[in-house]
Amino acid sequence: MLLRELQILNCRKIMQAQIQFHGPGLQVIQGMNGSGKSTIAQAIQLTLEGPKAFTPGMIRLGESQAEIVAITDDGVKIKTSISGKTVKQTVAKLDEESGRYTSVSGGVREFLEGIRSGFEMPWSLRDMSDAKIIEILKDRCGITQKVSEIDASLKDKERLRTETGRDKKALGELGDTPVKTEHPPKIDEIKKKREEATAYLKKVSETLDKAANYIREKCVFSSIEEIGSMHGVVDAAIKCAQDKIKGDTVYTQANLDKLDREYSNWVEIEKKANEYDAYLEKKKKFDSLEESYNSLTQEIEEFREARKRVLSEMNLGVKGLEISEENQLVYNGAIRGVTDTNKVSNWSTAESVKVFFSIAAKFSGEIKVIVVDNAESLDEKTTKAISDWSEKNQYLVILLKVATVPETLEDGIIYVKDGEIVTK
């Protein structure tokens, strides 16, 4: 259905106005700033969006109430009453037999939600970044929460994968696999014999040193005869030394050297066995981290695919329009590329018009009306693209243009001057 007539009473600068629209195509509403053009746009927006579009100050100064009546070409009348900050809407339908309007009772809100648009001014999208438009589209398609949940899971998995990769890197390279070496039997017996041999040889050395010192002390002679007495001294030293080591296991230096070699060999084998154990432990951690990293990578890919699938299933109403994995708008393979820092679009004017107006059409209700503000800034090429789209899709596109009201009025243009509607 198309908007055929709009009646405005006590809204801002407009005391009373009745506007007739010509049908599908472009409808220019022209006037200077402050003449009442924006009030007409707000009246349409309030009709089509309901109380959520209300802004304070809509009631004309000095008045207590305002009223907007919108009539469609198939006989639906939407009445919007404003009192203070309260907005109430009612719906009536034309009875063709009686020629009278009959109120729609019950489910008024549901009825309105089904017929009115949610995208009345799509051309304003051209000033938004791809990311902002995509957020709006996700909201309109009802997938915002679903995508947010996927994004939260994706972010958490990417964080875990980063930490896992960091831990894996901290382990360093595994290097070549060392020769598998089993731990040798316990070295307690070798250590014990080695300690005994060392102690024994030390004890022998100390005993001999004492015997030698004892004999040296006795080697002081006052006569030749006393030399003969040295036999007794030596025998005494021998007996004393023998008593010191009596009962001990006898070890030689050769025995100790052999034990040392056995010990060194044991230490070497044990070292290699420990190195092999350390390698196995490191490999176990490395394999575990690698398995976790690969598993997280797979989960991340699954979440990305899920996100891609959810976005691809969005019915945007425009053939060829997609949302890339990089969160960019793509139309027929061309990335729009508008960000917070880059305001230049890669799309042509015709492409932008087709996409944005088709999006509006997709999310519109049954009332086919779109408003374009600041239309004076549109060049001829853009205006023609909008005109072609509106005629092809049978939409009423209202262009609000800032310009003076000429002395000679043109057919088809609605002029607004000081709150009054002027037409030829």
Q: What is the pLDDT of residues 303-327, one digit of tens each?
A: 999 988 898 888 877 888 988 888 8
Calculate the average pLDDT of the chain.
Answer: 88
Q: 3-class DSSP state for residue 104?
A: coil
- What percent of the chain shows pLDDT beyond 90? 42
- Region 266-287: mean pLDDT is 94
Task: Report the pLDDT value the prediction gives residue 119, as an integer from 0 to 100.
Answer: 54
For the chain, which residues make up each domain, given as ranges? 158-313
Comparing 154-158, 245-249, 320-324, which segment has the lowest mean pLDDT?
Answer: 245-249
- Region 33-61: mean pLDDT is 87
Which residue's entry shows tokens 């972010």?
155
**Whole-angstrom Cα distance, residue 148 to residue 159?**
16
Nearest CA to 238 out of 221, 218, 215, 217 is that of 215
Q: Write the CA distances from 66 to 43, 135, 227, 371, 420, integer angstroms.
A: 10, 34, 148, 22, 16
Q: 3-class DSSP state for residue 326?
A: coil
Residues whose CB is less than 8 angstroms from the CB of residue 213 and which lie 6 or more positions away in sequence, other chains included: none
pLDDT digits (tens, 9 = 90+) for 282-292: 999 999 999 99
CA dihedral 386, 388, 389, 391 (to 10 degrees): 120
Comparing 83-87, 97-101, 270-274, 359-363, which segment has the lowest mean pLDDT?
Answer: 359-363
Comparing 73-82, 207-216, 223-232, which segment has the lowest mean pLDDT?
Answer: 223-232
pTM, 2 dp: 0.61
Confidence band, pLDDT 50/70/90 cuts, at residue 117: low
- Give the pairing type, strands 420-422 and 414-417: antiparallel
- Region 228-253: mean pLDDT is 85
Highest mean pLDDT, choosing among 75-79, 183-187, 294-298: 294-298
Nearest CA to 355 out of 336, 368, 371 is that of 336
Residues whose CB is less than 8 angstroms from the CB of residue 84 and which lie 6 or more positions away in sequence, other chains included: 59, 64
Which two tokens mark 390? 């509106």
Residues whose CB is less than 8 angstroms from the CB of residue 343 and which lie 6 or more positions away in sequence, other chains included: 127
Residues whose CB is less than 8 angstroms from the CB of residue 159 and which lie 6 or more positions away in sequence, other chains included: none
Q: Is there a contact between 72 and 22 (Cβ–Cβ < 8 Å)?
A: no
**Which residue type, as a one-letter code, is found at position 63?**
E
